[in-house]
Protein backbone atom coordinates (compact mmCIF):
# COMPACT_ATOMS: atom_id res chain seq x y z
CA UNK A 1 0.00 0.00 0.00
CA UNK A 2 2.91 2.37 0.66
CA UNK A 3 3.86 2.43 -3.03
CA UNK A 4 0.29 3.22 -4.10
CA UNK A 5 0.02 5.89 -1.41
CA UNK A 6 3.29 7.40 -2.59
CA UNK A 7 2.09 7.56 -6.17
CA UNK A 8 -1.13 9.26 -5.10
CA UNK A 9 0.73 11.81 -2.98
CA UNK A 10 3.38 12.60 -5.59
CA UNK A 11 0.58 13.19 -8.09
CA UNK A 12 -1.06 15.58 -5.63
CA UNK A 13 2.21 17.52 -5.25
CA UNK A 14 2.28 17.96 -9.04
CA UNK A 15 -1.39 18.87 -9.21
CA UNK A 16 -1.10 21.46 -6.45
CA UNK A 17 1.88 23.38 -7.84
CA UNK A 18 0.73 23.09 -11.44
CA UNK A 19 -2.77 24.19 -10.45
CA UNK A 20 -1.32 27.21 -8.70
CA UNK A 21 0.70 28.14 -11.80
CA UNK A 22 -2.22 27.79 -14.21
CA UNK A 23 -4.52 29.87 -12.05
CA UNK A 24 -1.88 32.60 -11.94
CA UNK A 25 -1.12 32.62 -15.68
CA UNK A 26 -4.73 32.35 -16.84
CA UNK A 27 -6.08 34.79 -14.28
CA UNK A 28 -3.51 37.53 -14.84
CA UNK A 29 -5.01 38.98 -18.07
CA UNK A 30 -8.31 39.60 -16.27
CA UNK A 31 -6.96 41.20 -13.08
CA UNK A 32 -8.98 44.21 -11.98
CA UNK A 33 -11.96 43.50 -14.22
CA UNK A 34 -15.54 43.42 -13.01
CA UNK A 35 -17.41 40.19 -12.35
CA UNK A 36 -19.65 38.51 -14.88
CA UNK A 37 -17.55 38.15 -18.06
CA UNK A 38 -18.91 34.63 -18.60
CA UNK A 39 -19.15 34.64 -22.41
CA UNK A 40 -15.72 36.21 -22.81
CA UNK A 41 -14.17 33.69 -20.43
CA UNK A 42 -15.90 30.72 -22.05
CA UNK A 43 -14.52 31.73 -25.45
CA UNK A 44 -11.09 32.40 -23.93
CA UNK A 45 -10.85 28.96 -22.31
CA UNK A 46 -12.37 27.16 -25.31
CA UNK A 47 -9.84 28.81 -27.60
CA UNK A 48 -6.90 27.86 -25.38
CA UNK A 49 -8.10 24.27 -25.12
CA UNK A 50 -8.44 23.97 -28.88
CA UNK A 51 -5.79 21.64 -30.37
CA UNK A 52 -4.60 24.08 -33.04
CA UNK A 53 -4.49 27.40 -31.20
CA UNK A 54 -1.04 28.99 -31.06
CA UNK A 55 -0.04 32.05 -29.07
CA UNK A 56 2.86 33.36 -26.95
CA UNK A 57 3.13 31.75 -23.53
CA UNK A 58 1.01 33.37 -20.86
CA UNK A 59 3.36 34.83 -18.27
CA UNK A 60 3.22 34.06 -14.57
CA UNK A 61 3.25 36.84 -11.97
CA UNK A 62 4.80 37.46 -8.57
CA UNK A 63 2.46 34.78 -7.17
CA UNK A 64 4.36 32.01 -8.95
CA UNK A 65 7.76 33.69 -8.68
CA UNK A 66 7.51 33.69 -4.89
CA UNK A 67 5.96 30.21 -4.74
CA UNK A 68 9.00 28.91 -6.60
CA UNK A 69 11.25 30.61 -4.04
CA UNK A 70 9.46 28.84 -1.19
CA UNK A 71 9.79 25.47 -2.90
CA UNK A 72 13.47 25.94 -3.74
CA UNK A 73 14.27 27.02 -0.18
CA UNK A 74 12.55 23.96 1.31
CA UNK A 75 14.29 21.65 -1.15
CA UNK A 76 17.73 23.07 -0.42
CA UNK A 77 17.42 23.70 3.32
CA UNK A 78 15.12 20.73 4.09
CA UNK A 79 13.35 22.94 6.64
CA UNK A 80 11.77 26.38 6.81
CA UNK A 81 14.71 28.78 6.94
CA UNK A 82 13.20 32.28 6.94
CA UNK A 83 16.51 34.03 6.33
CA UNK A 84 17.24 31.86 3.29
CA UNK A 85 13.68 32.42 2.07
CA UNK A 86 13.96 36.19 2.47
CA UNK A 87 17.20 36.20 0.48
CA UNK A 88 15.54 34.22 -2.30
CA UNK A 89 12.62 36.65 -2.43
CA UNK A 90 15.02 39.58 -2.72
CA UNK A 91 17.15 37.94 -5.40
CA UNK A 92 14.10 36.87 -7.41
CA UNK A 93 12.59 40.34 -7.33
CA UNK A 94 15.74 42.21 -8.36
CA UNK A 95 16.44 39.68 -11.13
CA UNK A 96 12.91 39.93 -12.54
CA UNK A 97 11.13 42.98 -11.12
CA UNK A 98 8.39 43.11 -13.79
CA UNK A 99 6.23 40.33 -12.45
CA UNK A 100 3.52 42.53 -10.97
CA UNK A 101 4.91 43.08 -7.47
CA UNK A 102 3.08 45.62 -5.33
CA UNK A 103 4.82 48.80 -4.20
CA UNK A 104 4.68 47.85 -0.52
CA UNK A 105 6.43 44.51 -0.89
CA UNK A 106 9.06 46.15 -3.12
CA UNK A 107 9.81 48.49 -0.23
CA UNK A 108 10.27 45.45 2.04
CA UNK A 109 12.65 43.83 -0.45
CA UNK A 110 14.72 47.01 -0.75
CA UNK A 111 15.18 47.17 3.02
CA UNK A 112 15.97 43.47 3.23
CA UNK A 113 18.68 43.87 0.60
CA UNK A 114 20.12 46.92 2.36
CA UNK A 115 20.37 44.99 5.65
CA UNK A 116 21.44 41.71 4.00
CA UNK A 117 18.33 40.10 5.52
CA UNK A 118 19.86 40.32 8.99
CA UNK A 119 16.37 40.38 10.52
CA UNK A 120 13.98 38.85 7.95
CA UNK A 121 10.89 40.19 9.73
CA UNK A 122 11.95 43.76 10.59
CA UNK A 123 11.07 45.62 7.35
CA UNK A 124 7.57 44.13 7.15
CA UNK A 125 6.87 45.02 10.79
CA UNK A 126 7.54 48.70 10.02
CA UNK A 127 4.90 48.96 7.32
CA UNK A 128 1.60 50.83 7.72
CA UNK A 129 2.63 52.50 10.95
CA UNK A 130 3.67 49.22 12.50
CA UNK A 131 0.41 47.38 11.85
CA UNK A 132 1.83 45.44 8.90
CA UNK A 133 0.23 44.39 5.63
CA UNK A 134 -3.03 42.42 5.58
CA UNK A 135 -2.71 41.56 1.89
CA UNK A 136 -2.84 38.08 0.37
CA UNK A 137 0.85 37.85 -0.50
CA UNK A 138 1.61 35.39 2.28
CA UNK A 139 -1.26 33.11 1.28
CA UNK A 140 -0.65 33.15 -2.47
CA UNK A 141 2.82 31.56 -2.14
CA UNK A 142 2.11 29.13 0.72
CA UNK A 143 1.47 25.92 -1.26
CA UNK A 144 4.93 24.30 -0.92
CA UNK A 145 4.73 24.45 2.89
CA UNK A 146 1.67 22.20 3.43
CA UNK A 147 3.10 19.88 0.78
CA UNK A 148 6.52 19.58 2.37
CA UNK A 149 5.22 19.42 5.97
CA UNK A 150 2.00 17.53 5.19
CA UNK A 151 2.32 15.22 8.21
CA UNK A 152 2.55 17.96 10.84
CA UNK A 153 -0.24 18.65 13.29
CA UNK A 154 -2.36 21.76 12.82
CA UNK A 155 -0.58 23.93 15.38
CA UNK A 156 2.93 23.17 14.11
CA UNK A 157 1.96 23.65 10.47
CA UNK A 158 0.18 26.93 11.22
CA UNK A 159 3.27 28.26 12.99
CA UNK A 160 5.38 27.58 9.89
CA UNK A 161 2.78 29.26 7.70
CA UNK A 162 2.80 32.30 9.98
CA UNK A 163 6.60 32.59 9.92
CA UNK A 164 6.77 32.32 6.14
CA UNK A 165 4.08 34.98 5.73
CA UNK A 166 5.59 37.43 8.22
CA UNK A 167 8.59 38.07 5.98
CA UNK A 168 6.23 40.38 4.08
CA UNK A 169 2.87 40.38 5.92
CA UNK A 170 2.86 40.89 9.70
CA UNK A 171 -0.76 41.99 10.18
CA UNK A 172 -2.86 39.31 11.89
CA UNK A 173 -5.19 39.06 8.91
CA UNK A 174 -2.22 38.80 6.56
CA UNK A 175 -0.68 35.79 8.26
CA UNK A 176 -4.00 34.21 9.29
CA UNK A 177 -4.93 34.20 5.62
CA UNK A 178 -1.75 32.26 4.91
CA UNK A 179 -2.59 29.85 7.74
CA UNK A 180 -6.09 29.27 6.35
CA UNK A 181 -4.86 28.54 2.82
CA UNK A 182 -2.11 26.31 4.22
CA UNK A 183 -4.53 24.21 6.29
CA UNK A 184 -7.00 23.98 3.41
CA UNK A 185 -4.30 22.60 1.11
CA UNK A 186 -3.21 20.09 3.75
CA UNK A 187 -6.80 18.87 4.07
CA UNK A 188 -7.12 18.53 0.31
CA UNK A 189 -3.94 16.45 0.16
CA UNK A 190 -5.33 13.77 2.46
CA UNK A 191 -8.67 13.36 0.68
CA UNK A 192 -9.31 10.50 -1.71
CA UNK A 193 -9.55 11.99 -5.22
CA UNK A 194 -11.60 9.02 -6.40
CA UNK A 195 -14.46 9.89 -4.06
CA UNK A 196 -16.73 12.94 -4.33
CA UNK A 197 -15.65 15.75 -2.05
CA UNK A 198 -18.17 16.48 0.69
CA UNK A 199 -17.90 20.25 0.98
CA UNK A 200 -19.78 20.39 4.28
CA UNK A 201 -17.34 18.11 6.07
CA UNK A 202 -14.39 19.90 4.48
CA UNK A 203 -15.57 23.25 5.85
CA UNK A 204 -16.53 21.79 9.22
CA UNK A 205 -12.97 20.55 9.72
CA UNK A 206 -11.40 23.76 8.43
CA UNK A 207 -13.57 25.97 10.63
CA UNK A 208 -12.73 23.90 13.69
CA UNK A 209 -9.01 24.44 13.01
CA UNK A 210 -9.26 28.17 12.32
CA UNK A 211 -11.16 28.77 15.54
CA UNK A 212 -7.95 27.87 17.35
CA UNK A 213 -6.20 30.85 15.74
CA UNK A 214 -8.99 33.41 15.99
CA UNK A 215 -9.79 33.60 19.67
CA UNK A 216 -13.01 35.24 20.84
CA UNK A 217 -11.27 36.88 23.80
CA UNK A 218 -8.53 38.69 21.86
CA UNK A 219 -7.63 41.62 24.10
CA UNK A 220 -6.44 43.73 21.16
CA UNK A 221 -9.83 43.78 19.39
CA UNK A 222 -11.67 47.09 19.25
CA UNK A 223 -15.37 47.36 20.06
CA UNK A 224 -17.54 46.20 17.17
CA UNK A 225 -14.68 44.44 15.38
CA UNK A 226 -15.27 40.83 14.35
CA UNK A 227 -12.94 38.73 16.56
CA UNK A 228 -13.07 35.83 14.09
CA UNK A 229 -13.18 37.35 10.60
CA UNK A 230 -11.92 34.29 8.72
CA UNK A 231 -14.25 31.97 10.63
CA UNK A 232 -17.14 34.27 9.77
CA UNK A 233 -16.18 34.10 6.10
CA UNK A 234 -15.99 30.30 6.24
CA UNK A 235 -19.50 30.20 7.69
CA UNK A 236 -20.68 32.22 4.71
CA UNK A 237 -18.83 29.87 2.35
CA UNK A 238 -20.75 27.01 3.94
CA UNK A 239 -24.06 28.87 3.72
CA UNK A 240 -23.62 29.69 0.03
CA UNK A 241 -22.62 26.12 -0.81
CA UNK A 242 -25.55 24.74 1.20
CA UNK A 243 -27.94 26.86 -0.87
CA UNK A 244 -26.56 25.29 -4.04
CA UNK A 245 -26.71 21.78 -2.58
CA UNK A 246 -30.35 22.22 -1.60
CA UNK A 247 -31.34 22.92 -5.19
CA UNK A 248 -32.97 26.16 -4.19
CA UNK A 249 -32.52 29.60 -5.68
CA UNK A 250 -29.22 29.84 -7.53
CA UNK A 251 -26.72 32.10 -5.80
CA UNK A 252 -25.81 35.28 -7.62
CA UNK A 253 -22.16 36.18 -7.87
CA UNK A 254 -22.43 39.95 -7.40
CA UNK A 255 -25.17 39.95 -4.79
CA UNK A 256 -24.03 36.91 -2.81
CA UNK A 257 -20.46 35.79 -3.41
CA UNK A 258 -18.84 39.18 -3.91
CA UNK A 259 -20.87 40.89 -1.19
CA UNK A 260 -20.27 38.19 1.42
CA UNK A 261 -16.77 37.03 0.47
CA UNK A 262 -15.19 39.62 -1.82
CA UNK A 263 -12.54 39.35 -4.53
CA UNK A 264 -9.94 41.85 -3.36
CA UNK A 265 -6.23 41.93 -2.63
CA UNK A 266 -6.61 41.56 1.13
CA UNK A 267 -6.27 38.06 2.54
CA UNK A 268 -9.72 38.32 4.12
CA UNK A 269 -11.42 39.08 0.79
CA UNK A 270 -9.54 36.52 -1.29
CA UNK A 271 -8.53 33.37 0.62
CA UNK A 272 -12.10 32.38 1.64
CA UNK A 273 -13.20 33.23 -1.91
CA UNK A 274 -10.59 30.88 -3.37
CA UNK A 275 -11.78 28.12 -1.03
CA UNK A 276 -15.36 28.78 -2.11
CA UNK A 277 -14.45 28.60 -5.82
CA UNK A 278 -12.68 25.27 -5.30
CA UNK A 279 -15.52 23.73 -3.33
CA UNK A 280 -18.27 25.15 -5.54
CA UNK A 281 -16.65 23.60 -8.62
CA UNK A 282 -16.59 20.18 -6.92
CA UNK A 283 -20.34 20.30 -6.27
CA UNK A 284 -21.15 20.10 -9.97
CA UNK A 285 -21.94 22.26 -13.00
CA UNK A 286 -21.96 26.04 -12.70
CA UNK A 287 -24.33 28.21 -14.71
CA UNK A 288 -22.70 29.64 -17.88
CA UNK A 289 -19.50 27.61 -17.43
CA UNK A 290 -19.47 24.83 -20.00
CA UNK A 291 -16.86 22.19 -19.15
CA UNK A 292 -16.71 18.67 -17.75
CA UNK A 293 -13.39 19.36 -16.01
CA UNK A 294 -13.71 20.25 -12.32
CA UNK A 295 -10.27 21.85 -12.50
CA UNK A 296 -11.11 24.14 -15.41
CA UNK A 297 -14.46 24.91 -13.77
CA UNK A 298 -12.59 26.02 -10.63
CA UNK A 299 -10.33 28.43 -12.49
CA UNK A 300 -13.00 29.74 -14.83
CA UNK A 301 -15.34 30.46 -11.93
CA UNK A 302 -12.61 32.15 -9.86
CA UNK A 303 -11.68 34.43 -12.76
CA UNK A 304 -15.34 35.24 -13.50
CA UNK A 305 -15.62 36.98 -10.12
CA UNK A 306 -13.20 39.70 -11.24
CA UNK A 307 -10.93 41.60 -8.88
CA UNK A 308 -7.63 39.97 -7.91
CA UNK A 309 -8.16 37.22 -10.46
CA UNK A 310 -4.61 35.88 -10.74
CA UNK A 311 -4.15 35.36 -7.00
CA UNK A 312 -7.64 34.00 -6.28
CA UNK A 313 -7.46 31.62 -9.26
CA UNK A 314 -3.94 30.59 -8.24
CA UNK A 315 -5.01 29.73 -4.68
CA UNK A 316 -8.15 27.95 -5.92
CA UNK A 317 -6.07 26.05 -8.48
CA UNK A 318 -3.62 24.93 -5.80
CA UNK A 319 -6.49 23.58 -3.69
CA UNK A 320 -8.11 21.80 -6.61
CA UNK A 321 -4.80 20.30 -7.75
CA UNK A 322 -4.01 19.12 -4.23
CA UNK A 323 -7.34 17.29 -4.19
CA UNK A 324 -7.53 15.90 -7.74
CA UNK A 325 -3.82 15.31 -8.32
CA UNK A 326 -1.95 15.64 -11.60
CA UNK A 327 -4.46 13.59 -13.57
CA UNK A 328 -7.27 15.95 -12.66
CA UNK A 329 -5.24 18.98 -13.75
CA UNK A 330 -3.65 17.48 -16.87
CA UNK A 331 -7.08 16.78 -18.36
CA UNK A 332 -6.70 20.41 -19.42
CA UNK A 333 -3.40 19.63 -21.17
CA UNK A 334 -3.86 22.33 -23.79
CA UNK A 335 -4.21 24.92 -21.05
CA UNK A 336 -0.92 23.76 -19.58
CA UNK A 337 1.02 24.20 -22.82
CA UNK A 338 0.02 27.88 -23.00
CA UNK A 339 1.44 28.71 -19.54
CA UNK A 340 5.00 29.77 -18.84
CA UNK A 341 7.04 27.54 -16.52
CA UNK A 342 4.83 24.43 -16.46
CA UNK A 343 7.70 21.96 -16.88
CA UNK A 344 9.76 23.80 -14.27
CA UNK A 345 6.86 23.66 -11.82
CA UNK A 346 6.40 19.93 -12.34
CA UNK A 347 10.11 19.42 -11.75
CA UNK A 348 9.90 21.46 -8.55
CA UNK A 349 6.96 19.35 -7.38
CA UNK A 350 8.88 16.11 -7.96
CA UNK A 351 11.97 17.40 -6.16
CA UNK A 352 9.89 18.72 -3.29
CA UNK A 353 8.19 15.36 -2.90
CA UNK A 354 11.47 13.42 -2.95
CA UNK A 355 12.87 15.63 -0.18
CA UNK A 356 9.72 15.51 1.92
CA UNK A 357 9.08 11.78 2.31
CA UNK A 358 7.27 11.52 5.62
CA UNK A 359 8.55 9.95 8.80
CA UNK A 360 8.26 6.23 9.51
CA UNK A 361 5.15 6.85 11.58
CA UNK A 362 3.49 8.74 8.76
CA UNK A 363 4.42 6.03 6.24
CA UNK A 364 2.48 3.57 8.40
CA UNK A 365 -0.72 5.54 7.77
CA UNK A 366 -3.01 3.37 5.66
CA UNK A 367 -4.59 5.58 3.00
CA UNK A 368 -7.48 3.17 2.55
CA UNK A 369 -8.36 3.43 6.25
CA UNK A 370 -8.35 7.23 6.03
CA UNK A 371 -10.73 6.98 3.06
CA UNK A 372 -13.06 4.61 4.97
CA UNK A 373 -13.28 7.07 7.85
CA UNK A 374 -14.02 9.94 5.47
CA UNK A 375 -16.62 7.84 3.65
CA UNK A 376 -18.42 7.10 6.94
CA UNK A 377 -18.43 10.78 7.90
CA UNK A 378 -19.69 11.70 4.42
CA UNK A 379 -22.69 9.36 4.75
CA UNK A 380 -23.51 10.79 8.18
CA UNK A 381 -23.27 14.34 6.87
CA UNK A 382 -25.47 13.53 3.85
CA UNK A 383 -28.18 12.18 6.17
CA UNK A 384 -28.02 15.36 8.25
CA UNK A 385 -28.10 17.49 5.09
CA UNK A 386 -31.24 15.76 3.78
CA UNK A 387 -33.01 16.23 7.13
CA UNK A 388 -32.07 19.91 7.04
CA UNK A 389 -33.77 20.31 3.67
Query: Are 260 and 218 within 8 A, CB to CB?
Result: no
339 pairs with which residues across the strands?
58
Q: Is 61 annotated as a binding residue?
A: yes
Alpha-carbon distance of 115 to 262, in angstroms, equals 37
Q: How far apart are CA 137 and CA 101, in angstroms?
A: 10
Which residues, listed in sequence order, are joined to residue 289 by a DSSP beta bridge? 286
Q: How far apart are CA 191 and CA 193, in angstroms?
A: 6
DSSP bridge partners of 135: 266
Question: Cα 202 vs. chain centroid, distance in angstroms?
Answer: 15
Residues in the chain, total: 389
Cβ atoms of 378 and 201 closer than 8 Å: yes
**Is 310 marked as binding a ligand?**
yes
Q: How far apart are CA 71 and CA 89, in angstroms?
A: 12
Q: What is the dihedral of CA 168, 173, 176, 180, to 10 degrees?
A: -110
Cα separations (Å) of 370 from 67, 192, 193, 373, 376?
Answer: 29, 8, 12, 5, 10
- Which residues belong to the annotated binding site for Mg(2+)? 61-63, 308, 310-311
- Which residues belong to the annotated binding site? 61-63, 308, 310-311
Amino acid sequence: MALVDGLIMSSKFRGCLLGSLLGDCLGAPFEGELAGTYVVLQKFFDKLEGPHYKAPLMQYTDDTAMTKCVAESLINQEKLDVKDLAKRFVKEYFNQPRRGYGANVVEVFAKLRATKCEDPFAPAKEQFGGSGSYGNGGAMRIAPIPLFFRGLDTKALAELARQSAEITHTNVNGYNGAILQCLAIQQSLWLNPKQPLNTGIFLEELLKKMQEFEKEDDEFMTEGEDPQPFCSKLRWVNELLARERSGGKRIKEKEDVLFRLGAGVSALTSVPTAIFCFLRAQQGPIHEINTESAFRRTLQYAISLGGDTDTIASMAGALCGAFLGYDGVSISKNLIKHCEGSEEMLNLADRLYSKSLPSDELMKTNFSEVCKIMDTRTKMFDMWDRERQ
